[in-house]
């Protein structure tokens, strides 16, 4: 049997990506751990694209300090001109193990509105107590600026859901629980904080009477993102199916290498160099690159 292990190849590629980002995995980490850490970095960073920025009525009418107003203006200018917004994220945004429970639960990001560089963390702006809370679905390239709240209490403030409901009700539509007429106990902001820390998901009733599942799809029992867990499972399934499909072409591939190089199937060693379409697979002993 030829040497084929696409799962190991994929893990090597993701490991290299993590290393390039400054987070080399431990030797004993398996693909699931490496992939979860990698996806956790990507998911919590809005892509650097030209955003269409919408502000809620509450935010447009809000009286905020001058320095925060300036920071908000600069943030919007960066978003609308396609600049990197990473400097405004939490300094934990470059930590692949950080659990952003608000984002996992509600799908809401928070941004700092400093106008000067961070005094100690290169690549970030200075921290502000007042935070901008927003939803940024990259598939629409539309960013929804919900409101500005102090750090303390902001991450569980259900008024953010009210603002979403009153300004952009369509955002909540995919997460509305149809057929539900009441909850036995509608969680308070404090309850939500405790439940998140206990890796428990909550249904919420909005002031408008909607019953919502977690807009970020929720938190796993391990305290990680349900979205990331699903993405990791889907990727593993894709890689395994790709390997099966490749092996099913054994007769054709073996005939090619035997005719061109005089090598038998058992002598061949294949390694995936890129999983981006078209997938590029190198036969190590000959150096020939296949594309599928």
Supply angle C-alpha 50, 53, 58, rounded to 5: 165
pLDDT at 229: 94
pLDDT at 245: 95
- The residues spanned by each domain of the chain are 6-41+228-291, 44-217
Which residues have C-beta within 8 Å of that of residue 158, sequence separation ≥ 6?
A: 189, 192, 204
Report which secondary-structure segment, H or E, holds 59: helix 57-60
pLDDT at 183: 82
Q: How many CB atoms lie within 10 A of CB 214?
A: 19
Residue 132: which of 75, 217, 57 has the closest Cα? 75
pLDDT at 104: 96
CA distances from 174 to 106, 137, 153, 221 (A): 13, 13, 26, 23
Contact 36, 11 (CB under 8 A): no
Interstrand relation of 109-112 and 130-135 (parallel, antiparallel or unpaired): antiparallel
3-state secondary structure 69-138: HHHHHHHHHHHHCCCCCHHHCCHHHHCCCCCCHHHHHHCCEEEECCCCECCCCCCCECCCCEEEEEECCC
Report pTM: 0.89
Residuewise pLDDT in 10s, the chain (292 residues): 899 999 999 999 999 999 998 888 877 888 899 999 999 999 999 999 999 999 999 999 999 999 999 999 999 999 999 999 999 999 999 999 999 999 999 999 999 999 999 999 999 999 999 999 999 998 899 999 999 999 999 999 999 999 999 999 999 999 999 888 778 778 899 999 999 999 999 899 988 888 999 999 999 999 999 999 999 999 999 999 999 999 999 999 999 999 999 999 999 999 999 999 899 999 999 999 999 8
Instruction: Find the helix packing angle between 31-43 and 226-248, rounded to 10°.
Output: 130
Token pair 């919502």 is at which residue? 212
pLDDT at 1: 83
Residue 56: which of 134, 155, 130 has the closest Cα? 134
């Amino acid at each position: 049997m030829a040497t084929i292990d696409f799962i190991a190849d994929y893990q090597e590629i993701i490991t290299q990506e993590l290393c390039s980002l400054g987070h080399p995995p431990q030797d004993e980490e398996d693909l699931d751990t490496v992939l979860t850490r990698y996806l956790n970095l990507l998911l919590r960073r809005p892509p650097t694209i030209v955003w269409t920025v919408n502000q809620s009525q509450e935010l447009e009418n809000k009286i905020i300090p001058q320095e925060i107003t300036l920071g908000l203006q600069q943030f919007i200018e960066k978003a609308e001109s396609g600049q990197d917004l990473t400097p405004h994220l939490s300094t934990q945004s470059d930590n692949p193990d950080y659990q952003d429970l608000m984002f996992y639960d509600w799908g809401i990001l928070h941004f700092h509105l400093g106008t000067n560089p961070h005094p100690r963390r290169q690549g970030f702006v200075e921290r502000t107590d007042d935070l901008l809370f927003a939803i940024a679905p990259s598939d629409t390239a539309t960013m929804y600026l919900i409101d500005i709240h102090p750090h303390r209490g902001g991450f569980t403030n259900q008024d953010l859901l009210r603002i979403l409901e009153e300004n952009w009700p369509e955002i909540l539509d995919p997460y509305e629980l149809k057929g539900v007429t009441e909850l036995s106990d509608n969680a308070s902001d404090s309850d939500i904080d405790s439940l998140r820390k206990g890796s428990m998901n909550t249904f919420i009733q909005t002031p408008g009477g909607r019953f919502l599942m977690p807009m970020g799809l929720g938190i796993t029992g391990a305290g990680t993102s349900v979205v990331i867990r699903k993405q990791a499972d889907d990727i593993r399934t894709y890689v395994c199916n790709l390997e099966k499909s490749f092996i099913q072409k054994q007769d054709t591939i073996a005939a090619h290498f035997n005719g061109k190089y005089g090598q038998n199937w058992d002598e061949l060693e294949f390694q995936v160099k890129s999983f981006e379409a078209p997938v590029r697979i190198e036969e190590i002993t000959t150096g020939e690159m296949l594309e599928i």
